Amino acid sequence: MTEPRRHIATQTGFLMVLRQGDDVFARLEALMREEAIPSAFIAGLGFAGHVTFGFFDYEKKEYAPKTMHNLELTNLTGTLAWKDGKPSIHAHGTAGDDSFRTFGGHLLALEVGRGSLEISVTVIPTRLERAVDPGIGANVLQL
Amino acid sequence: MTEPRRHIATQTGFLMVLRQGDDVFARLEALMREEAIPSAFIAGLGFAGHVTFGFFDYEKKEYAPKTMHNLELTNLTGTLAWKDGKPSIHAHGTAGDDSFRTFGGHLLALEVGRGSLEISVTVIPTRLERAVDPGIGANVLQL
Amino acid sequence: MTEPRRHIATQTGFLMVLRQGDDVFARLEALMREEAIPSAFIAGLGFAGHVTFGFFDYEKKEYAPKTMHNLELTNLTGTLAWKDGKPSIHAHGTAGDDSFRTFGGHLLALEVGRGSLEISVTVIPTRLERAVDPGIGANVLQL
């Protein structure tokens, strides 16, 4: 059986339709490599089987993570760029539970749940790199 | 008196400005038919007079709905496609109340409240259809 | 020392990367003037040092404001237009705290926190004006 297609080209980039079990970050990284995407702005929605949010702790220099399950991802917003020759994805998300309470933050990991997850990728023709800004101590997209 | 215009063409599709009392899903369906939109990615914001969220219950095979009133819709994200010759809209939303608490999920219905609701429609030139995926038991956009 | 660049041109408009301490509304207004943007749809994400939400009170004819600090802005959605010859920005936001609880609504003010804030600006070639709709008593984008 052939695996269903995960993306098509659009006027301004790509539309992705990811499916149950797909690792969203791995799929985006694969798309960046296959299609040689210099950089991009992304937006999406869908069903999250597992989502890990992280809030950066500047004292410990690490993200305090929390994983949640089976939420409707009401919005994903992010940018695709490169760092040290590798894809570098910056994405935030908001998600609602079965009582429509919402949770949100910086996304560390996201796996599609029962259903699908649709992402619009608007390609930017300039190759952009992320680098740690010494004054801020965080990765910043370099223009 | 002439009814105010609800959309204009843009570089990449359309900008809609809906007004108090407008049924957002009916207006999007009308736009899809009038402008023969093959498929599209949408994003928006505005004031929701009435919004119905639904969380899918796979046991009962139906959405458990909840209707809320007078919320600022902080974000609407979705895709426009077709199913059996009819418009098929998939949209999620996040909305905040007068204390800035937020609610969100899959949108079943949305009516503009006192004010307006602005939607960007980025047209995708490929006609896309939604179909129930037998392995998942949910509508999935077919690429 | 040269100030880092805050925007580059893209296929469909601009990508902005704002930095700690930047006033997001002032930066967007400056961009509109410098680049003579007729109107635009915006989307973004980043870290909010200070964010002021407002919920409109039709009795008092003013926004009831609330300012919050150090939140991950999971999504910003808005439109750029003009009013009486000046930039007129309509933007909504959703933001999560260190426990991933979210808050959201109409944005009155936004300052970038420790990190950055990325905004995609999709230019619309038609100059659009906002005007108070007498039937609604609120600013509505005129098409």
Chain A closest-CA separation from residue B3 CA (Å): 32
Q: Do C75 and A92 touch (CB under 8 A)?
A: yes
Q: Does C130 touch chain A (CB under 8 A)?
A: no
Q: Give the list of residues 6+ apart from residue A15 with CB closer than 8 angstroms, or none.
A: A7, A8, A118, A119, A120, A121, B39, B41, B79, B124, B143
Name which of B45, B55, B68, B128 to mutate to probe chain A: the one with the most chain A Cβ atoms within 10 A of its Cβ.
B55
Residue C67 contacts B where some CB pair is shorter than 8 Å: no
Instruction: Show residues of chain C in contact with B5, CB under 8 Å.
Output: 143
**In A, which residues are within 8 Å of C7 by CB distance?**
143
DSSP at B3: P
d(CA B120, CA B16): 6
Residue B96 has pLDDT above 70, yes or no: yes
pLDDT digits (tens, 9 = 90+) for A75-99: 999 999 999 999 999 999 999 999 9
CA triple B131-B137-B139, angle to 5 deg: 30
Q: Do the beta carbons of residue A43 and residue C42 sit within 8 Å?
A: no
Which whole number is the average pLDDT over A5-33? 97
Using alpha carbons, list the distances in angstroms from residue A138 to A44, A105, C58: 25, 16, 42
- The encoded tokens of residue A36 equal 């040689």
Mutate to test the interface with C, among B6, B22, B72, B76 (most CBs of C within 10 A): B72
pLDDT the model gives residue A133? 87
Where does residue A99 rank: exposed (0-12), middle (13-18), buried (19+ CB within 10 A)? exposed
For residue C6, the chain A residues in CB contact (below 8 A) are: 143
- Continuous segment of H or E residues that includes residue C71: strand C62-83
Measure Cα distances from A82 to A85, A88, A140, C81, C136 in Å.
6, 5, 11, 33, 47
In CATH, the number for domain A7-142 is 3.30.1330.80
Amino acid occupying residue A143: L
Answer whether C41 sits within 8 Å of B6, measured CB to CB. no
- Mean pLDDT in residue range C127-137: 90
Answer whether A19 touches B (CB < 8 Å). Answer: yes
Q: C96 at the A interface (CB within 8 A)?
A: yes
A-chain CB neighbours of C44 within 8 Å are 77
Which stretches within chain A are classed as H helix? 24-34
Q: Domain residue spans in chain A?
A: 7-142
Which member of C105, C126, C142 has the closest CB to residue B74?
A: C105
| Residue C18 near residue C24, CB atoms below 8 Å | yes
Of B98 and B137, the one with more pLDDT: B98
DSSP state of B136: T
CA distance B76 to B82: 19
Q: Determine the pLDDT at residue B38.
A: 98
Which chain B residues have a beta carbon less than 8 Å from that of C124? Answer: 8, 10-11, 15
**Do A75 and A45 touch, CB atoms closer than 8 A?**
yes
Confidence class of residue B26 from pLDDT cuts 50, 70 and 90?
very high
- pLDDT of B59 reads 86
Taking all residues of chain A, what is their mean pLDDT, rounded to a whole number?
96
Residue B1: the pLDDT is 57
% of residues, chain B, pLDDT over 70 = 99
Subunit contact C96:A53, Cβ cutoff 8 A? yes
Q: Which residues of A touch B39 (CB under 8 A)?
A: 15
Pairing of strands B7-9, B86-96: unpaired
Residues C31-88: tens digit of each pLDDT: 999 999 999 999 999 999 999 999 998 888 889 999 999 999 999 999 999 999 999 9
What would the pLDDT profile of B97-124 be if each residue is shown by its tens digit? 999 999 999 999 999 999 999 999 999 9
Q: Is C44 part of the contact surface with chain A (CB cutoff 8 Å)?
A: yes
Q: Which residues of chain A are within 8 Å of residue C19 when distances are taken between CB atoms?
A: 133, 136, 140
Asked if C101's CB is within 8 angstroms of A103's CB, the reply is yes
**Whole-model pTM?**
0.97
Cα–Cα separations (whole angstroms), residue A79 to A39, A55, B20: 7, 18, 34
Single-letter amino acid, residue C118: E
> Are residues A72 and B141, on separate chains, in Cβ contact within 8 Å?
no
Q: Cβ contact (<8 Å) for A10 and B103?
A: no
pLDDT of C100-115, one tens digit each? 999 999 999 999 999 9
pLDDT at residue A138 in the model: 85
